[in-house]
């Protein structure tokens, strides 16, 4: 029997912004339990450094630094800034190893090493990979880059033109470069290269151009491709074999990556891998999501369209699939499944479970057993109307028939729209509060589908959308929320005029940082959502904040300002900012390495 959850995970009346647009939390949190959960694996990164896109292998975006707290966060000021000059969406987080910060621009994907031991953090070196400009025209949604990784003295990242490059972290010299695909056929790469256990894991973009989605592992030392697994196609291509034991029976069949598609359509069926990857060293499994099926017009591809809009657990050494689960079967609205997979051990049902937490575009916050793929919880975190609830027996959302689009017929007020009530922007988890902190949307769309034909390297799309606030013409488009993954509910919420497209940062000082599309960088109390500090930056914020300990022993907070990417769907709204390219670094009173020790906070 279906178990139906509420269609609206929030209090709509509580989402009215104050007259001066200075947000305050709309709901206070309860006191946390003794053990509300923790990351899946021990944190091996030095406390003051940041080596991976989400800082740790589990993707928590949590910093153990606590110098900055509620008593002094109001004194944050700019310590220094840096501009890379690239006027596209700045979606990544800088990394810090030792006394050096590493940042990479969006196209042309230029890397910089900044010396943190010197006032102003002068440039140690820069590396220009000479990315092909052809890639700009193939990128679906701005020529962005969502992150890079540091490991074994190397900075490793993807180029928009479908190459992966490793750069010597000390000298800036190219160590290796691997071509992964032909950009002329529509394959680009915007996801953050992820390093674990001596391997570089990467995936492709281009779901709107009918590419075949894949994830691949490269040798960290040489760049040699070790394995590649596709999202669609035969079991051999998808690397499904004897180890594949999915929890739900609908995934137990031969060559489902072909048979759940019309004849001949699977290999243009997308399932691109352009989001985040996480890794559990205890099981040696990586976890990642796949994109929408192609074309986006569902009438042209009857069937469940496996393995699009899904999550895979794979052996990191061999690429063998261990289990999979599809978030949105026969995805009719472009809901994807690429959003982050945060690996947490959580007290579910009275005992600690090994889980994977995922905020999907389809508006369900999933808690899955990361060993089996069983759905333990599926709760809506924002307003939606495409589904009437969730059937735990089958592991599927229950589709409202009225919300299914048909070619050449306008379907009004579908919620969420194609970009979901949350896109790729990663949340943060604090083991101190047991809460997750995430930027979300509050939007709907009018949708009209048009049948399309496949031509390699060109849009294979067919969706026409008009997006607007779920609350009407002048309503807010977003919010920043604290979410209890165990209870499956909001704890507090901050309304925002625009979609919140930045990632989040949680710290041991019980402060959470996030940015807004119109350029506000905010620090809030992790327990009750009270805004403790905010600073308007020169452009909108769609990047990921991070924190590090400088050579002077101070804690710093860094965020890139440079609006772009999917945030551009709001560009006609009053207050949408100009493009930018500036990295801001904050400290208490703006102190840096040149500030005398006696003046340290």
Distance CA 567, CA 440 (A): 12
Give CA separation, 52 vs 211, 480, 486, in Å.
27, 24, 26
- Strands 149-151 and 225-230, bridge-based pairing: unpaired
Q: Which residues pair with 100 in a beta bridge?
A: 97, 115
Q: Which residues pair with 395 in a beta bridge?
A: none
Q: Whose CA is closest to 518, among 571, 471, 474?
A: 571
Q: Whose CA is closest to 528, among 408, 437, 395, 413?
A: 437
CA 347 from chain centre, in angstroms, equals: 24
Sheet strands side by side (includes 351-359): 38-39, 342-348, 351-359, 364-369, 375-380
The backbone torsions φ and ψ at residue 183, rounded to the nearest 5 degrees and listed phi first, read -65, -25
Distance CA 370, CA 353 (A): 9
- Taking each continuous run of H as one helix and of E as one strand, the counts in the chain are 3, 39
Question: Per the annotation, where are the binding residues?
Answer: 91, 146, 190, 208, 292, 334
Which helix (H) or strand (E) element contains residue 334?
none
Q: Which residues pair with 410 in a beta bridge?
A: none
Question: Per the annotation, where are the binding residues for Ca(2+)?
Answer: 208, 292, 334
Active site (annotated) includes residue 317: no
Q: Does residue 310 contact residue 379 with C-beta atoms inside 8 Å? A: no
Distance CA 56, CA 248 (A): 30
DSSP designation for 474? T
DSSP state string for 367-435 = EEETTT--EEEEEE-SB--SEEEEETTTTEEEE-GGG---BT--EEEESS-TT-SS-S---EEETTTTE
Q: Does residue 563 contact residue 580 with C-beta atoms inside 8 Å? A: yes
Question: Per the annotation, where are the binding residues for pyrroloquinoline quinone?
Answer: 91, 146, 190
Distance CA 418, CA 354 (A): 31
Distance CA 37, CA 41 (A): 12
**In 199-227, which positions are buried (b, 16+ CB within 10 angstroms) versus exposed (e)?**
bbbbbbbbbbbbbbbbbbbbebeebebbb
The catalytic position among 84, 142, 280, 334 is 334
User: Apex CA 319: angle with CA 313 and CA 322, to 5°?
Assistant: 35
List, by residue number, the catalytic residues. 334
């Amino acid at each position: 029997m279906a178990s139906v959850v509420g269609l609206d995970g929030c209090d709509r009346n509580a989402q009215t912004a104050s007259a001066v647009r200075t947000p305050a939390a709309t709901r206070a949190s309860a006191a946390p339990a003794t053990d509300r959960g923790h990351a899946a694996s021990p944190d091996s990164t030095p406390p003051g450094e940041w080596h991976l896109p989400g800082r740790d292998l589990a993707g928590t975006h949590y910093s153990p630094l606590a110098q900055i707290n509620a008593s002094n966060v109001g004194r944050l000021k700019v310590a220094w800034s840096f501009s890379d000059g690239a006027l596209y969406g700045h979606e990544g987080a800088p990394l810090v190893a030792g006394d050096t910060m590493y940042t990479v621009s969006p196209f042309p994907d230029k890397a910089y090493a900044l010396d943190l031991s010197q006032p102003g953090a002068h440039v140690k070196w820069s590396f220009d990979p000479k990315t092909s400009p052809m890639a700009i025209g193939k990128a679906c949604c701005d020529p962005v880059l969502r992150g890079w990784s540091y490991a074994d003295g190397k900075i490793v990242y993807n180029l928009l033109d479908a190459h992966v490059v490793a750069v010597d972290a000390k000298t800036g010299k190219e160590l290796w470069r691997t071509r992964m695909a032909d950009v002329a056929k529509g394959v680009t790469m915007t996801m953050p290269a992820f390093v674990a256990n001596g391997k570089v894991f990467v995936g492709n973009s281009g779901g709107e151009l009918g590419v075949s989605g894949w994830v691949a592992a490269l040798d960290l030392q040489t760049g040699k491709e070790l394995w590649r697994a596709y999202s669609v196609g035969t079991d051999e291509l998808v690397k499904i074999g004897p180890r594949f034991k999915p929890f739900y029976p609908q995934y137990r069949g031969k060559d489902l990556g072909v048979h759940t598609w019309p004849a001949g359509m699977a290999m243009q069926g997308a399932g691109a891998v352009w989001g985040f990857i996480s890794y559990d060293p205890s099981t040696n499994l990586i976890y990642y999501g796949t994109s929408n099926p192609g074309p986006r017009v569902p009438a042209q591809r009857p069937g469940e369209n496996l393995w699009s809009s899904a999550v895979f657990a794979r052996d990191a050494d061999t690429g063998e699939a261990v289990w999979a689960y599809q978030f949105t079967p026969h995805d009719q609205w472009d809901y994807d499944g690429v959003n982050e997979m945060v690996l947490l051990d959580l007290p579910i049902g009275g005992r600690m479970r090994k889980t994977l937490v995922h905020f999907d575009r389809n508006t369900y916050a999933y808690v899955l057993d990361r060993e089996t793929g069983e759905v333990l919880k599926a709760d809506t975190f924002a307003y939606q109307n495409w589904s009437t609830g969730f059937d735990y027996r089958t592991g599927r959302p229950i589709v409202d028939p009225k919300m299914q689009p048909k070619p050449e017929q306008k379907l009004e007020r579908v919620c969420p729209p194609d970009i979901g009530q949350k896109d790729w922007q990663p949340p943060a988890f604090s083991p101190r509060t047991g809460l997750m902190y995430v930027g979300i949307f509050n939007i709907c769309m009018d949708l009209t589908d048009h049948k399309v034909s496949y031509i390699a390297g060109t849009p294979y799309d067919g969706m026409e959308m008009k997006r607007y606030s779920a609350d009407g013409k002048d309503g807010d488009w977003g919010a920043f929320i604290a979410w209890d993954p165990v209870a499956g509910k909001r704890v507090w919420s901050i309304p925002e005029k625009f979609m919140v497209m930045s990632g989040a940062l949680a710290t041991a000082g019980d402060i959470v940082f996030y940015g807004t599309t119109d350029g506000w960088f905010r620090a809030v109390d992790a327990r009750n959502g009270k805004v403790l500090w905010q600073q308007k930056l020169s452009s909108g914020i769609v990047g990921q904040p991070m924190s590090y300990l400088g050579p002077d022993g101070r804690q710093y907070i860094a965020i890139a300002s440079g609006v772009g990417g999917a945030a551009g769907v709001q560009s006609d709204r009053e207050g949408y900012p100009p493009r930018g390219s500036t990295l801001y670094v904050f400290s208490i009173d703006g102190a840096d390495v040149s500030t005398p020790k006696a003046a340290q906070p």
